[in-house]
Amino acid sequence: MTDRFEVQRTIPATAADIFAIVSSPNGQVAIDASGMLQRATGEPAHAVGDTFVLHMDREALGDRPMGKYDVTVTITGYEQDRFITWEVSAPTFPSIGHYYGYRLEPVDGGTLVTSIYDWSRVGEKWRRGGAWPVIPEAALKATLGILERTVRTGG
């Protein structure tokens, strides 16, 4: 089993238009296919170290009775209109080594968007419960579909 998913989709839009959505707290909520992201607080990311809060509901996955909780998103990689990665943490858990992100590459007909989810640095203490990966690969693929729809409608 891999400790990383990368899924891709060519979206007929500019990298700048796509990046505006994936770097925004509300944009992330709008495109989430897992159902866990309920709403967000904060401003769009502009640099490594920026943070915002996502209000979550783990019940959407139906795997763990965690209910509603908040996570802080901390931007760990940033190149305007090209690349963004982030880790999540909460008062009940530190950043434990998994991260998410997007890589954007201009191509004929739009932008090749790669969604990244990597949990390879999650320590054994956190792996014991068998919750990895938290997000299934199919949800990443579905999120890219929602991203295409959102960017086309100006969302």
Please write the tens of the pLDDT for every residue from 115-131.
Answer: 999 998 888 877 777 67
Q: Per-residue pLDDT tens for 36-66?
A: 899 999 999 999 999 999 999 877 776 666 7
Phi-psi region of 62 (alpha: psi -120 to 50; beta: other; left: phi over 0): left
Please tell me the pTM assigned to this model: 0.91
In this prediction, residue 62 carries a pLDDT of: 64
**CATH for the stretch 4-152:** 3.30.530.20
pLDDT at site 95: 83
CA 97 to chain centre: 14
Residue type, 53: V
Q: Tell me, what's the pLDDT at 13?
A: 97
% the chain with pLDDT above 90: 68
Q: What is the pLDDT of residue 6?
A: 97
Q: Phi, psi (5° rounding) for residue 109?
A: 90, 5
